[in-house]
Amino acid sequence: MSAAITPLHGLRVLIVEDETLVAMLIEEYLLELGCEVAFSASRVAKAMRGLQTCGIDVAVLDVNVAGESISQLVETLVQRGIPFVFASGYGARGVDPHWSRSPVLQKPFTGADLRAALLASLEPMH
């Protein structure tokens, strides 16, 4: 792997994913991309508590977290100006149309897919 610094190097990422193996894979991809995993949560309430204590730059959000709505979490991220990427087995169809401008990863995805989505999330919205 190249030692070159990329826009993702050192990025602090929140992972919200209820499937342990998927969360571990995302974490592995992030580390390979030079990111730091700031916090990982398998429930929305845990993610909300983590936002109070952990500084993050971007979030990777499962759309269906153990049957819970992630709307409150997304609203908090938007209020704080923190970009995010959705990860969904349903692709863009699984994302609330209100958030359709945010990058969506179709599960399963590769590290390259995650890299592209993270870079897209960091681009200013027009």
The pLDDT tens digits along the chain (126 residues) read: 444 568 899 999 999 999 999 999 999 999 999 999 999 999 999 999 999 999 999 999 999 899 998 999 999 999 999 999 999 988 788 888 888 889 999 999 999 999 999 999 998 753
pTM of the model: 0.92
CA distance 2 to 4: 5
Contact by Cβ (8 Å): 14, 50:
yes
Strand partners, 66: none
Q: What's the confidence (pLDDT) of residue 13?
A: 98
Q: What's the confidence (pLDDT) of residue 95?
A: 86
Q: What's the confidence (pLDDT) of residue 4?
A: 59
Strand partners, 40: 15
| The two structure tokens encoding residue 86 | 């959705």
Q: What's the confidence (pLDDT) of residue 126?
A: 37
Residue 79 amino acid letter = Q
Write down the CATH superfamily of domain 12-99.
Response regulator (3.40.50.2300)
List all residues 6 or more positions away from 121 whose beta carbon is below 8 Å from its beta carbon. 58, 83, 84, 85, 102, 103
- DSSP class of residue 17? -
Residue ranges of domains in the chain: 12-99
